[in-house]
Amino acid sequence: MKTVTALTVSILLASGLFACQVPVFRFALERWPADNFRLLVTSHGPLDQALGSELENLQKSLETEPRPINLELEVIDLSTLTEAQRISIPGLENVGSEPSMILIPPQSWQTEKTAWSGAATTENLALLLDSPARQQCADHLLKGASTVWIIVTSGDAEKDSRAKALLASGLAKASSLLEIPKGVVRREDLNKELANIDLDDVLRSDIPLSISFVSQTLDRRDPAEAVFLSILVEPEALRTGEPLIVPIFGRGRTAGPVSAAGLTIDRIFGACEYLCGACSCQVKQGNPGYDLLFKTSWDAHLNSTIITAESEIVQQALDVVSFSPDPPASESEQTGGLPIHPAALGLVVVLLAGGAFLVFRKTAPAG
């Protein structure tokens, strides 16, 4: 193998057999675009002028890149549709005569229920698109928080206090014991002496990488969060009267809420361990969780770049970079036996690594 003084880089061919060393939370932030929601705005005849103007501005913003929100908009004048056309459009089953808004969740929710519905007003549109809690959560994630843990308060001071103390203990344990997987390469480290680098292990943004958890309180009685709360938590969970804990990571992705009454320190630690571990399955759909609606231009903030041998960041260091001319080992040599199909191994890894995280999964998001 040809060697150069300061930096030797072996570009490993991506076979899909081995885990990328980037933690799940960071892989999700940099490489998994948020799934789009679909907003239907219906009326019989023209909409209110103010609302119509807001929707026009929203549509214009959705046509720009990078997109400012994971949303698709469809404005429908029901008086222009035939009965057959109306039946053919999902989400219109229960629309009445008054102007309405229906938020259809992405397929990753795996439900036919709407995420939220309500009157078509400028006030409801503003509450649907954004809220203080989502702004705060996105800000934490873009500053490098591994996960933002939202506590949806119950209104019972004693229960809420216990939930906060339990979460704090679980996060303290995770913060003290978990470490960033070995092999992750920060972009600035490409200028240092390193060997056997897989470019999949190179971070795609300059956001600080560390084990860092943030807890955030959401008052279920806060009118500014009413729409977000209906997207975040199903009504059945709210009716239990218990505080709810919801982990959010990546670009507003969650595994759903869990009642604080059913939580333990070990379960919190297990979820943190999964999120901070190497991303064993790089395919988004192969990992537990589903996306929420966030008015955040993630790509604009991240300035994320796919790192390849032709990337500028690698080209800048070509005087100290060499690529291995040696052919990659065969599958049997890599695994020490019979060839293993990447999809089969990936499934096993996800089932094992994702188990702790699945305890948080929301069974059927609903509005």
Q: Would you state the pLDDT for residue 285?
A: 74
Rounded Cα–Cα distance for residues 158 and 162 (Å): 6
Going by C-alpha positions, the residue among 178, 146, 350 that lies closest to residue 250 is: 146
Please give the C-alpha separations between residue 195 and each of 8, 253, 320, 333, in angstroms, as whole numbers.
5, 34, 12, 20
Rounded alpha-carbon distances, angstroms, from residue 357 to 118, 148, 207, 234, 299:
33, 15, 24, 19, 26
Given a contact cutoff of 8 angstroms between Cβ atoms, the answer to whether 134 and 291 are in contact is no
Q: Give the HSE-up count for residue 291: Cα atoms under 13 Å, Cβ half-sphere.
A: 26
Would you give per-residue pLDDT tens digits along the chain (367 residues)? 222 222 223 223 233 344 689 999 999 999 999 999 999 999 999 999 999 999 999 999 999 988 999 999 999 999 898 888 888 887 787 777 889 999 999 988 988 889 999 999 999 999 999 999 999 999 999 999 999 999 999 999 999 999 999 999 999 999 999 999 998 888 777 666 555 677 788 888 889 999 999 999 999 999 999 999 999 998 888 899 999 999 999 999 999 999 999 999 999 999 999 999 998 766 777 777 899 999 999 999 987 655 554 555 445 544 444 333 344 444 333 333 333 222 323 332 333 344 444 444 444 444 4
160 forms beta bridges with: none
Question: Do residues 246 and 167 touch, judged by C-beta distance below 8 A?
Answer: no
- Separation between Cα atoms, residue 185 and residue 194, nearest integer Å: 9
pLDDT for position 326: 41
What's the predicted TM-score (pTM) here?
0.78
* CATH domain 38-130 topology: Glutaredoxin (3.40.30)
Task: Single out the residue of 213, 134, 216, 130 nearest to residue 172, CA to CA.
Answer: 213
pLDDT of residue 335: 35
Give the pLDDT confidence of 345-361 residue by residue, as tens digits. 333 233 334 444 444 44
